[in-house]
Amino acid sequence: MKPVITAFDWVPPFAQGQVRDLRVRWALEEVGQSYDVRYLAQGAHKGPEHRALQPFGQVPTYEEGDLVLFESGAIVFHIAERFKGLLPPERDGRSRAVEWMFAALNSVEPPIMDHAIATIFEAGEPWSKARLPSVNARIDERLGELSRRLGDRDWLDGEFTAGDLLMVAVVRILEGDALLDPYPNLIAYVARGTARPAFRRALAAQIAGFTGEPPARFKEWAEKHKQAQGETA
């Protein structure tokens, strides 16, 4: 039985290639496991049918027989344990890979998402511009710490693992942003991760799934965001 994941059938252009089902698709591609996708229109993810699978009304979810999971990190962990290819065979190596999975989601991603909130989702709020310097400082601190630990290695702990998968997925949110410029080893790290054939297949599959129509409220939001960007330029 193939796993079934949920994904959106439409997101704004800036979010394409970033929705978290990509992380699950990538993990499945790395381990060579085929899967099916159930696409949701914008708004359907907040309905009772989807909330029965995902109480917070988000994507992705993962269904494998009677098992239903939510949260992309938990799903990637399950895939890494269920199939070979994303965790080292020895106990200590597996524990270090899991450590980096948690670090990606708990230490590195939160300030990066704060940046997205301040510059995209709530860019029109009066506090967003004033908050950016402190948000950027926290991102720089985390990137500096990660850069020093990675050093000149290709991956965080020897071979590519689920820890690298999630860390690359998180850091690539800043791909092309000046915040990454001081850290050429992280830029190269992201480039190595996104050059993997499994990532390229996962990304192509996600992009191909965006066939739906934007909701009417998006046009209003887009106009407000455009105005806010003009005011802060």
- Residue at 34 is within a domain: yes
Decide which of 117 and 201 is more confident. 201
- Residue at 224 is within a domain: no
Task: List Cβ neighbours of 216 (8 Å cut-off, separation of 6 or more).
Answer: none
Q: Are residues 141 and 126 in the same domain?
A: yes
Q: Looking at residue 229, what is its pLDDT?
A: 54
CATH number, domain containing residue 131: 1.20.1050.10
Question: Is the per-residue pLDDT at 232 higher than 60?
Answer: no
Mean pLDDT within 145-169: 98
- Residue at 117 is within a domain: yes
% residues pLDDT > 90 (the chain): 83
Task: List Cβ neighbours of 177 (8 Å cut-off, separation of 6 or more).
Answer: none
Q: Are residues 137 and 98 in the same domain?
A: yes
- The tens digit of pLDDT for each residue in 161-174 reads 999 999 999 999 99
Measured between alpha carbons, how far is 233 from 229 in angstroms, rounded to an integer? Answer: 6
Q: Are residues 15 and 56 in the same domain?
A: yes
Mean pLDDT within 124-137: 91
Q: Are residues 95 and 191 in the same domain?
A: yes
- Residue at 178 is within a domain: yes
Are 147 and 183 spatial neighbours (Cβ–Cβ below 8 Å)?
A: yes
Q: Looking at residue 227, what is its pLDDT?
A: 60
- Residue at 220 is within a domain: no
Least confident among 1-15, 84-98, 117-131, 157-171: 117-131
Residue 4 pLDDT grade (very low, low, confident, very high; cuts 50, 70, 90): very high
Mean pLDDT within 104-124: 92
pTM of this prediction exceeds 0.85: yes
Q: Looking at residue 156, what is its pLDDT?
A: 98
CATH number, domain containing residue 42: 3.40.30.10
- Residue at 229 is within a domain: no
Q: Looking at residue 216, what is its pLDDT?
A: 74
- Residue at 233 is within a domain: no
Q: Are residues 54 and 104 in the same domain?
A: no
- The tens digit of pLDDT for each residue in 69-97 reads 999 999 999 999 999 999 999 999 999 99
Q: Looking at residue 141, what is its pLDDT?
A: 98
Q: Looking at residue 215, what is its pLDDT?
A: 81
Q: Are residues 17 and 58 in the same domain?
A: yes
Q: Looking at residue 40, what is its pLDDT?
A: 97
Written as one letter, the residue type at 166 is L
What is the tally of structural domains in the chain? 2
Written as one letter, the residue type at 54 is Q
Q: Are strands 4-8 and 36-40 parallel, antiparallel or unpaired?
A: parallel
> What is the domain range of residue 109?
91-195
- The tens digit of pLDDT for each residue in 29-74 reads 999 999 999 999 999 999 999 999 999 999 999 999 999 999 999 9
Q: Are residues 81 and 101 in the same domain?
A: no
Q: Are residues 12 and 65 in the same domain?
A: yes
**What rounded mean pLDDT belongs to the chain?**
93
- The tokens for 105 are 């989601």
Residue 121 pLDDT grade (very low, low, confident, very high; cuts 50, 70, 90): confident
What is the Cα 163 distance to its own chain's centre?
13
Q: Are residues 97 and 188 in the same domain?
A: yes
Closest CA to 86 of 146, 3, 34, 28: 28
